[in-house]
Amino acid sequence: MTLARGPHYWVFLIILGIALLAVALYYQYILDYAPCVLCIHVRMIIAAIVVISAVALALRRCRLARVAGHLLTAALMVFLAERSWQLLGTERGWVLGSCEMRSGLPAWLAVEDWMPWLFRIHEPCGYTPDLPLGFTMAEVLVGLSFTLTAVAVLLALFAFADLKRHGDRDRDDTR
């Protein structure tokens, strides 16, 4: 599948990730909606997807790197779907008592200290803001993350099949 080999998927994920982070920051700093721990987890996963996508874009001509990029992206999408589902469950009352004011990250991964403007937790979980068309941020994240997870897993399977079929003859002719 051409999408699994070419640059378009990675560029799309970079643009989408930056747009999602920009929307989150707009809601935080302009509309004054403070992020909760699950919101920060979602931001961290989206930022990781942007970084992995940028690396995968740069290394896309190497089949092995492409497979690794697709596998990492698929794994991150699964985590994104889980955190989004948890956020929606907390908002709707399906999940109770699972939200603290700590990120749960090890001390050596202090992203809250490195980039507090993006990753600082401000409040416990409870609700997410309404977006245009009457959906909440959690509802949109669930729909988006489950769709992206399905696409990422499918592309990872195509990339793996391409690697298995052709091996990693250093590079291929993908543009």
User: Is 160 inside a domain boundary?
Assistant: yes
Please report, for the domain that includes residue 159, its CATH number: 1.20.1550.10
User: Is 62 inside a domain boundary?
Assistant: yes
The pLDDT of residue 11 is 96
User: Is 172 inside a domain boundary?
Assistant: no
The pLDDT of residue 96 is 61
**Digit-coded pLDDT (tens) for 132-170:** 889 999 999 999 999 999 999 999 888 888 777 776 554
| Rounded distance between C-alpha atoms, residue 172 and residue 79, angstroms | 31
Cβ of 150: how many Cβ atoms within 10 Å?
13
| Rounded distance between C-alpha atoms, residue 73 and residue 86, angstroms | 20
The pLDDT of residue 175 is 47
pTM of the model: 0.87
Instruction: Spell out, as residue ranges, where the chain has pLDDT lower than 50.
Output: 170, 172-175
The residue segments making up the domain with residue 41 are 2-164
User: Is 157 inside a domain boundary?
Assistant: yes
Domain count, the chain: 1
The pLDDT of residue 170 is 47
User: Is 39 inside a domain boundary?
Assistant: yes
